[in-house]
C-alpha cells in the first residue's frame, strides 16, 4: 500500500496473521520501528519472529497469511477452516496466559 499499488483482501489476510501473532505473543510487532520503516521492511520480506513454542498449525496459518506473494495467501474462508479444524488442539494446548483477554474476560464497549 505504501507504494500506491492496488491492493485487495490479501492485505487484510496479512493483517490477520499479524493480529494472530499479537494474540499469541502478547507483544506489538516491529516495536522499535516507525510505520514507514515497517512498511518498507515488510515489503522486503521482514516478518515477526514466530515463537518456538507456537503450535505448528498456528505457525502455518501465520506464515501463509504473511506470504510475500499476496496471491499465495489463503482466502479467509480457508483460514477459518484451518482454525476450525485445529480448534480443540488450540484450546487445549495454547497456554492459558495467551488469549486470556479473549477467553476469560468479557468484551467491553470502551
Residue 3 falls inside a structural domain: no
Question: Grid coordinates standing for 99?
Answer: 488469549
Per residue of the chain (110 residues), give pLDDT as tens.
Answer: 555 666 678 889 999 999 999 988 888 999 899 989 988 898 888 999 998 888 999 999 999 999 999 999 999 999 999 999 998 888 887 655 455 444 444 444 43
Q: Say how many domains are in the chain.
A: 1
In three-state secondary structure terms, 100 is helix
Residue 63 falls inside a structural domain: yes
- CATH number for 69: 1.10.510.10
Helices (H), 44-97: 56-65, 76-85, 87-93
Residue 98 falls inside a structural domain: yes
Residue 40 falls inside a structural domain: yes
CA gap 51, 97 in Å, rounded:
14
Amino acid at each position: 500500500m505504501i507504494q500506491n499499488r492496488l491492493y485487495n483482501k490479501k492485505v487484510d489476510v496479512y493483517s490477520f496473521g499479524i493480529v494472530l501473532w499479537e494474540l499469541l505473543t502478547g507483544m506489538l510487532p516491529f516495536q522499535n520501528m516507525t510505520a514507514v520503516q515497517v512498511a518498507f521492511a515488510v515489503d522486503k520480506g521482514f516478518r515477526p519472529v514466530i515463537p518456538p513454542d507456537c503450535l505448528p498449525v498456528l505457525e502455518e496459518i501465520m506464515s501463509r497469511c504473511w506470504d510475500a506473494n499476496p496471491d499465495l495467501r489463503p482466502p479467509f474462508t480457508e483460514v477459518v477452516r484451518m482454525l476450525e479444524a485445529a480448534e480443540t488442539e488450540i484450546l487445549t494446548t495454547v497456554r492459558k496466559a495467551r488469549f486470556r483477554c479473549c477467553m476469560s474476560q468479557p468484551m467491553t464497549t470502551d
